[in-house]
Amino acid sequence: MTQRIMLWYRNDLRVADHEALHNAVGEGAQILPVYIDSCVPDRYELPGKPAIPGFRRKFRLESLRALDQQWRDWNSSLVVMTGEPEQVIPLLCAKYQINSVFLNAEASHDEVRQHVQVAHQLQSAHISCSVFHGAPLIHPDDLPFELRDLPDIFTQYRKIVEARLFVRACFPTPTAVQVLPHDEAPFEPDFPETIADVRSALPFHGGEPAGQARLHDYLWKSDLLCTYKETRNGLIGTDYSSKFSAWLASGCITSRQVFHEVRRYESERVANDSTYWMIFELLWRDYFRLVMEKFGTAMFSLDGISRRSTRGSWGRDSADFQAWVSGKTGNRFIDANMRELLLTGFMSNRGRQNVASYFVHELGLDWRLGAQYFEAALVDYDVYSNWGNWAYLAGVGNDPRENRQFNITRQADTYDPAGNYQKLWLD
């Protein structure tokens, strides 16, 4: 009997550079692609339970629809089920006589716990569960240290890995796939009612083809990479930064793919500070993933990974929180950024640093509430970067300084000197 493998998709919604898929095809198996739409409970109770627009979910559904189409090209379709994986997957395995479940690894606590529970459920039915590395920038076997020895400061980490930076080649897209026929209902996404805002800096759709198109356009068609370092702190428009983050977060594209395209760009066009800075940002993403893998649930604790409390108490004032969420704090620069997030699901990196600093240091609120709101609202939410950056700004993460408070007035004067960004979102 031909081996039957379930390919369990999570934050890896693609067919290119997909280690689990590559290995399943290599086994000569019939493959059943599955995505479980499960509800992850809130880590903390948000004050007042603000209304969360559905921009992130819309992008995820677009990505699933694109993935479904890719499997239809192979005469199959993506099985999308609602429920808890530890309940749904064993039932599907029994129904379709699955021999093994293949999946790409995640490093955060909830995702790890989830796949461990699934593996435990399958063990009694003698169904194996194979976990692959997925697509970190640097393969774990190529790191010059053990995870326990990961430096707690990014600069130290960067200097070590840059000294002998090696990124493995991407896995090729399969040319042919043996599919396992199924009779599950076709995927028909129920898109949330979101209104596209013409001012959005992220007017893009989810899915692997859209992510690949943006990668091509940003590097090769528009040649924007060569000025990335000079423009990356912008606030208005689609092209001040790459905007790769949304596709990276959903796994529609990988850091490896971006890295190798940048290296090709350096070879064929130009290598400069901007191309270096793009790789620098990829290293940051990889680093935060490693930090969460090393410290686990400590990343979500009040004192973070710093092992020190920088404040005697953290507030949870509902009025202050709601004013921040709705962009009604009275600080125009902060309010403009928060309005953009509320109306589009996106905010610049410069904006995120400022609103997080304001939340923690001027409003004195529990930094985890801000991180959770971003988790719910951002189109490009990534558990590692989001929680790592919030802890960093709160002084309980990977920062040698205890107080990284931004001067908001100076920041506004520097990055929005004519007030155009503030006018765009507030006037």
Longest dimension (CA), the chain: 70
Give the confidence band of 6 by pLDDT, cuts at 50, 70, 90: very high
Percent of the chain with pLDDT over 90: 87
Give the confidence band of 306 by pLDDT, cuts at 50, 70, 90: confident
pLDDT at 310: 56
pLDDT at 41: 55
Domain with CATH 1.10.579.10 in the chain: 301-426
pLDDT, the chain, mean: 94
- Kindly tell me if the per-residue pLDDT of 400 is higher than 80: no
Give the model confidence (pLDDT) of 101-144 as tens digits: 999 999 998 899 999 999 999 999 999 999 999 989 999 999 99
Please check whether the domain covering 208-295 is classified as CATH 1.25.40.80: yes
Between CA 108 and CA 244, with CA 81 as vertex, the angle to 5 degrees is 50
- Kindly tell me if the per-residue pLDDT of 321 is higher than 60: yes
pLDDT at 1: 67
Mean pLDDT of 140-153: 95
Domain with CATH 1.25.40.80 in the chain: 208-295
**What's the CA gap between 178 and 188, in Å, rounded?**
24
Distances (CA, A) of 19 to 103, 118, 349: 9, 20, 30
Most confident of 33-42, 102-111, 307-316: 102-111
Residue 35 main-chain phi, psi, to 5 deg: -130, 130
Domain with CATH 3.40.50.620 in the chain: 4-134
pTM: 0.96
Mean pLDDT of 144-166: 96
Mean pLDDT of 228-240: 97
Give the confidence band of 38 by pLDDT, cuts at 50, 70, 90: confident
Please check whether the domain covering 301-426 is classified as CATH 1.10.579.10: yes
- Of 295, 299, 219, 301, which Cα lies nearest the Cα of 259? 219
pLDDT at 121: 93
4-134 falls under which CATH superfamily? HUPs (3.40.50.620)
**What's the CA gap between 257 and 249, in Å, rounded?**
14
